[in-house]
Structure 1
Amino acid sequence: MRVFRRNYKVLALESSCDDACVALLEKESPHKPPLVIDQFKKTLLSAENGGIVPTAAHDFHHATMAPLVDEFCQKHSLNFATPPDLICCTRGPGMTGSLSSSIQLAKGLSMAWQVPVVGVHHMLGHILVSQLPKTSQPLLEPPQYPFLSLLCSGGHTMLVLLKSIVDHEIIIDVNDIAAGDSLDKCARELGLYGNMLGKELEKYVDSIPLDTRKEYHEINTKVKTNPYNLKLGLPFKGPRDPKYPDPIHFSFASFKSSIQSYRKQHHGDQPFDESTNQFLAYKIQETIFDHIIDRINTAFTMHGSNTAIYPEADSKFVGVRDLICSGGVAANSRLRHKLSQELKFNECLETEDKLTFHFPDLLLCTDNAVMIGVAGIELFEKLRIKTDLSMLAIRRWPLNEIMKVDGWTEINEAEFKSITRYR
């Protein structure tokens, strides 16, 4: 007997910062990840302004989102007669003016097409996009709870323990600026130019001959007694800093200051020569990533089970077997390599089981609408919730408080089945 299945389609919108994004996903089974049908993306060009200006981003999104979505819907024949079954949009965190453009558009389409809308937490999208098949890891199964996620972007840097889709504990947060913001600022100090300066810094470092990078790697910058007279150490490693702090923090603001101080002391107003510029670029990127590794290893020690290393280890990470690295900085190949090689998971958790790393495809590391669709589907299916039409943008929305905002509405069984129609 032939079995007919009815897939349901999801339109997703993202506009939290400087990217205007729309995507279409299709879901055919509660046991399989959604299929990505298509996505569009346009990015605000901000290099001339030295970074993202909120008012410029606001104007960009309000001028871009509607025609972008209109073009996308025409391409895929999405209209009143053949609408998607669900709409997902980013509700926060992010810049309020930017967020509001896709939220208002999503609410308008929801009313016109009479389909529910789900307002999604941006960072949850970065985490859950790891459920999709990965080009570099095609046989890898999705992560299983409990798992860890390193969210590393221009706006956020945190290590999170996830026990369910909404049960999150922030293990390490940043106490000043995010890693991506620091990389961007340092790249600008070194004279690099582009819309994504962190990516430009990575390309610049990768262009340095391998032998030269090996030489740079061996140079100790913990003290100034090196050929470049550069002192560049890790944050929180001073004599007065506790070895096992509570809470644990990331800190990245000092790296830009280090370049500025070094320039003032050794070069005045003159630009760096190429050798010095390359050395600084290599060491800045490497030390920022070393700091991330150091803080995560501190968390492994404190929340592992090996009391021989740390007598007060609380075993909080026992059962964790997966680590997701997501966000724009997660696209950096050097960071991916260092994570896979330098974390002390086995030692601190007293296990021979390997920690499985999940690295989303590069295009899905930076902001995109696909991740918003994936997270929205998970909220809709696992929790049977949607968002009512009174929702507003949320500028600051802690990841461990997803369900504490207003606007969540439960979906009854009849409405759920009318949308999914799973067999």
Structure 2
Amino acid sequence: MLVLGIETSCDETGVALYDTEKGLIANQLHTQMALHAEYGGVVPELASRDHIRRLVPLTQAAFNEAGVQYADIDAIAYTQGPGLGGALLAGAAYANALAFALNKPILPVHHLEGHLLSPLLADEPPEFPFVALLVSGGHTQFMAVRGVGDYELLGETVDDAAGEAFDKTGKLLGLPYPAGAILSQYAKLGQPETFHFPRPMLHSADLQMSFSGLKTAVLTAVEKTRAELGLSPHDTLPETVRNDICRAFQDAVVDVLVAKSQRALLQTGFRTLVVAGGVGANWKLREILSHLQVQAAPKSPRENVKTHFPPLPLCTDNGAMMAFAGAMRLQHGVQVAEPSGQFDVKPRWSLREIVRDGVQAA
């Protein structure tokens, strides 16, 4: 079974081909990072227009890479949501038009399900069941995953997601787009414990999280440091101070995610953790979670956890995860729609609505 996957939820245009016998045979990606850099963030209208420009040549490049023809595909999977409305429409319209022209079945896929299943594309994929930490864009969630389509939400952020907190804090520090990724790189140069920021909800018994207060803590630290150094609000912080703040902020976020990951594993009884989404590429998070252990009781022995990450190129949005998720759902009996030319997108779409039998609730 050969599935074409199309991803256009935000600022990456992804087109890929997944063969259930051969694996991922083509993966084409265009990032709009340079396009949005001068604006300091994603401009939805520009993102939509660029998707339209890129989809056809990327699709042709994917078929050339795989050495197959359009007629060879068995189905087309695309991101129906969540994401930017205009960006989603660009991909949905293209996918449905292509399916109609080729008379191929069409399969709308949840963006987060793509991220959730992406670690299965690794050379050593995880086995079900597992706890999934989804840290993608505006989402930070813990899911119990018992199989394809069998997902239970365990907890999530009550305000800003981890990725949003990284980006907003980076912008607060005057870092260019993409601020969150640059913050993580400067954190490597920072000294630990020079600054200390709170760990919101670290000790709460549930799996809820909160990251918006960290931005306020960073702002307070920046203003206090400026006053101590005699700097004006427009002066640039010394590099060492900036790096130390980046380090302290990252340490705070990672501490919360690690503690909540341990709690999720203990609550479910699972000993496999899957980390997916853009923040899953963060070097500090990967370093600690790769050696994670849990202790069920104070005097019980510590147990090792098997932690899985998607390959680094698949942490950000991409067509491979869409093609793979579509193929997995097809293999598990989901019914595909025949091409009709009618479609919709879901900019706000909870993963709660994805159920085991493949029915997507309205």
TM-score for the superposition, normalised by structure 1: 0.76
1:233 maps onto 2:198 in alignment? yes
8 Å contact kept, 1:244–1:298: no
CA distance in 1, matches of 2:119, 2:133: 12
Deviations 1:341-368 (A, max 9, x none): 4553555896765321111110011111
The DSSP-based 3-state class of the residue aligned with 1:172 is strand
8 Å contact kept, 1:296–1:343: no
CA distance in 2, matches of 1:348, 1:27: 45
How far has the Cα of 1:370 moved from its partner?
0.5
CA distance in 1, matches of 2:31, 2:360: 29
Structure-2 residue corresponding to 1:226:
none
1:98 maps onto 2:91 in alignment? no
1:281 maps onto 2:213 in alignment? no
CA distance in 2, matches of 1:333, 1:347: 30
How far has the Cα of 1:262 moved from its partner?
2.2
Structure-2 residue corresponding to 1:189:
172
Letter in 1 for 2:121: L
Picking from 380, 388, 391, the partner of 2:343 is 391
Gaps of 5+ in 2: 227-231
CA distance in 1, matches of 2:349, 2:64: 34
How far has the Cα of 1:190 moved from its partner?
2.2
Letter in 1 for 2:97: G
1:98-137 aligned at under 5 Å gives the runs 98-134=87-123
CA distance in 2, matches of 1:180, 1:266: 25
Change (3 A) 1:166 1:348: farther
1:328-367 aligned at under 5 Å gives the runs 328-344=278-294, 347=297, 354-367=304-317
Rg larger in structure: 1
Structure-1 residue corresponding to 2:220:
261
CA distance in 1, matches of 2:299, 2:37: 44
Deviations 1:15-57 (A, max 9, x none): 01110110112222xxxxx511121111222121111122222
Picking from 255, 263, 279, the partner of 1:290 is 255
Deviations 1:51-110 (A, max 9, x none): 112222222222322333244445656556x33122111111111211111111111111
The DSSP-based 3-state class of the residue aligned with 2:38 is helix
The DSSP-based 3-state class of the residue aligned with 1:100 is helix
Change (3 A) 1:145 1:74: closer
Picking from 156, 173, 197, the partner of 1:173 is 156
Change (3 A) 1:298 1:384: closer
1:145 maps onto 2:128 in alignment? yes
CA distance in 2, matches of 1:205, 1:153: 20
CA distance in 2, matches of 1:94, 1:263: 32
8 Å contact kept, 1:61–1:101: yes
Picking from 20, 23, 26, the partner of 1:35 is 23
Deviations 1:100-145 (A, max 9, x none): 11111111111111211211111111121211233xxxxx3x3222
The DSSP-based 3-state class of the residue aligned with 2:349 is coil
RMSD (Å) for aligned C-alpha atoms: 2.5
How far has the Cα of 1:12 moved from its partner?
0.9
Q: How many residues align?
A: 349
Gaps of 5+ in 1: 1-7, 29-33, 135-139, 222-231, 238-242, 304-316, 408-423
How far has the Cα of 1:205 moved from its partner?
2.4
Picking from 5, 13, 19, the partner of 2:6 is 13
Picking from 251, 257, 261, the partner of 2:210 is 251
Change (3 A) 1:274 1:361: same
CA distance in 2, matches of 1:38, 1:348: 49
Structure-2 residue corresponding to 1:417:
none
How far has the Cα of 1:198 moved from its partner?
2.2
